[in-house]
């Protein structure tokens, strides 16, 4: 049969299809009893119509998948096929079941090799997700086992099939469709002589499943980020800077953004409020700038509440009680709370001219729009930090930055994009532009703010969701689908986080100070 002769259609089974269904099941299952009686099929269709799927070619049924709803806790434990069957060969479909149970998948012998079974399995998976069911379970026959039973135990046989040393027409197919062997079932179907009564309990886990009691508390899956590519400019007063900030916050809120992002040290032009002579003392100038931080925190928090938007307040200089200076990013939640993330790695210029200290905490922040991390500029060039954040299930990494030249910008950009790929997360890069010759260290800027994604089929081909025009003051929006992160981490073309060789290496943090208490999963504290 050539592909040109096929006219395939996927649809649900109806009671009128029974004569064709019987012909197909009798042909394929001639060794284990053939087709179910018509009353059994009719009852199954009535109770769970969406779960009964066929493939037809020119109105001839060539593939079938029969499915029942079951209680996960019951059927994820040892059971037999008879546990699914009631009186008069009635399939025990559980109306309020939280899992699907694959009863049968069969393809007409003349149509094998066209991957029709995969179509039926994909239809089941989509149904499982759409119904918010926990998993798909199946008792899988191992029909080739009788050829190896004299030399291999069932467990050894299953292991060799999983290693592709043996091909089993059912188990090999199920493993190729992302099912995992949960356990060995004994006396599952005693009349199945080829399997010698053994079967595998297979499970496909719905990674998007949310328990019913948590539906109202379920995290957001669609998040809108707005970033301000901020122009450094001379401004006459603190009020003028805050007015410019509020203008952008208002604009981003009007577009229903969940986050407003500003660049690193975006209020640095306030150093220009000193006289020219005072600005020449760079340490004195940066201490002068730190004097505005408390007011800015208060005003930005007010804006977050008033405009109902979470604000990543770029970064600002903070002076502690001992007179030490830190570069701090503030997260102003729209509920009025404020959290902070210090820059950990200090650039040579910051250390030399401003005597900035590095912080000692690395945090993941729980927001109403996902779990986020913040790395200020240079920090994103150290991949260990992002990996530790990824181990705490970070969804979005915000990188406020400030670079003067294009080569400096490209260091930050390329590292940020690598972090998105390595850690299967979104990365939002937000920088400043403009030239302020009158203020030392603000004379030139280069930026092209961007949003990066993992690199896989669910995302843009270049893994860039949005980017601004270089060196132009503007705002940028991007809609982030957090569900896609869940899927790519489990079922992507590659799964970077899942495939790490933890038997060969691990990542250690000295004296971990974690707000929520304890170590992040995957991180180990150095005892020395």
Task: Provide the 8-state DSSP code for 431.
Answer: -
Task: Provide the 8-state DSSP code for 469.
Answer: P
DSSP output for 167-185? --TTHHHHHHTT-EEEEEE
What are the φ and ψ backbone dihedral angles of 507, each rounded to 5 degrees?
-120, 130
β-pairing, 432-433 vs 222-231, is parallel
CA distances from 475 to 241, 268, 464 (A): 17, 19, 16
396 in Cβ contact with 428 (< 8 Å): yes
Whether 377 is catalytic is yes
CA distances from 339 to 8, 247, 268, 288, 331 (A): 57, 23, 21, 23, 5
d(CA 22, CA 528): 71
Beta strands in 291-403 (DSSP E): 310-312, 316-319, 325-332, 338-342, 356-357, 365-367, 370-374, 396-400
CA distances from 319 to 288, 354, 449 (A): 10, 12, 28
The first and second tokens of residue 218, run together, are 């379920």
Run of H or E residues at 491: helix 482-491
Burial of residue 41, with CB atoms counted within 10 A of its CB: 0-12 exposed, 13-18 middle, 19 or more buried: buried
User: Which is the catalytic residue, given 35, 43, 128, 264?
Assistant: 264
Q: Is 134 helix (H, G, I), strand (E, B) or coil?
A: coil
User: Which is the catalytic residue, given 35, 377, 415, 430?
Assistant: 377
Q: Residues 506, 425, 475, 447: what is their CA dihedral angle, to the nearest 10 degrees? A: 40
User: Which is the catalytic residue, given 297, 343, 415, 425?
Assistant: 343
Q: Is 357 helix (H, G, I), strand (E, B) or coil?
A: strand
Cross-strand pairs, 64: 54, 106
Maximal CA-CA distance, the chain = 97
d(CA 192, CA 185): 13
Annotated catalytic residues are 264, 343, 377
């Amino acid at each position: 049969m050539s592909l040109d002769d096929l006219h395939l259609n996927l649809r649900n089974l109806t009671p009128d299809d029974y004569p064709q269904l019987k012909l197909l099941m009798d042909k394929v299952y001639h060794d284990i009893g053939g087709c179910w009686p018509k009353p059994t099929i009719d009852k199954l269709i009535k109770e769970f119509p969406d779960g009964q799927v066929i493939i037809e070619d020119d109105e001839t049924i060539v593939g079938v998948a029969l499915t029942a709803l079951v209680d996960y806790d019951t059927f994820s434990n040892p059971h037999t096929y008879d546990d699914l069957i009631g009186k008069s060969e009635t399939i025990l479909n559980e109306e309020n079941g939280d899992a699907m149970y694959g009863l049968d998948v069969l393809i007409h012998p003349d149509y094998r090799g066209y991957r029709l079974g995969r179509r039926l399995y994909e239809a089941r998976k989509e149904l499982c997700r759409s119904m918010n069911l926990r998993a798909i379970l199946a008792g899988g026959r191992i029909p080739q086992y009788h050829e190896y039973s004299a030399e291999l135990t069932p467990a050894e046989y299953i292991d060799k099939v999983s290693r592709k040393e043996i091909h089993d027409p059912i188990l090999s197919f199920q493993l190729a469709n992302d099912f995992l062997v949960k356990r060995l079932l004994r006396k599952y179907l005693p009349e199945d002589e080829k399997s010698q009564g053994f079967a595998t309990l297979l499970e496909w886990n719905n990674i998007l499943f949310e328990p019913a009691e948590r539906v109202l508390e379920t995290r957001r899956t669609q998040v809108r980020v707005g970033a301000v590519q901020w122009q450094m400019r001379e401004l006459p007063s603190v009020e003028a800077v805050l007015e410019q900030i509020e203008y952008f916050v208002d604009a981003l809120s009007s577009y229903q953004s969940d986050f407003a992002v500003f660049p690193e040290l975006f209020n640095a032009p306030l150093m220009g409020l000193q006289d020219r002579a005072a600005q020449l003392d760079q340490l004195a100038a940066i201490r002068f700038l730190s004097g505005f931080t408390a007011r800015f925190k208060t005003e930005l928090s007010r804006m977050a509440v008033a405009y109902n938007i979470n604000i990543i307040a770029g970064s600002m200089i903070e002076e502690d009680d001992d007179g030490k200076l830190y570069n701090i990013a503030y997260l102003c939640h729209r509920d009025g709370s404020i959290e902070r993330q210090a820059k950990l790695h200090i650039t040579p210029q910051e250390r030399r001219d401003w005597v900035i200290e590095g912080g000692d905490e690395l945090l993941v922040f729980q927001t109403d729009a996902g779990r986020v991390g913040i790395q200020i500029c240079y920090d994103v060039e150290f991949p260990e930090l992002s990996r530790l954040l990824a181990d705490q299930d970070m969804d979005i990494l915000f990188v406020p930055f400030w670079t003067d030249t294009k080569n400096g910008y490209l260091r930050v950009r390329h590292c940020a994009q690598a972090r998105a790929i390595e850690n299967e997360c979104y990365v939002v890069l937000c920088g400043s532009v403009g030239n302020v010759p009158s203020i030392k260290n603000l004379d030139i800027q280069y930026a092209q703010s961007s949003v990066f994604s993992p690199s896989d089929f669910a995302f843009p081909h270049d893994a860039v969701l949005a980017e601004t025009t270089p060196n132009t003051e503007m705002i940028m929006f991007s809609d982030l689908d957090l569900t896609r992160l869940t899927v790519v981490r489990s079922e992507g073309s590659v799964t970077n986080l899942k495939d790490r060789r933890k038997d060969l290496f691990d990542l250690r943090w000295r004296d971990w100070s974690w707000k929520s208490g304890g170590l992040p999963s995957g991180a180990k504290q150095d005892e020395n």
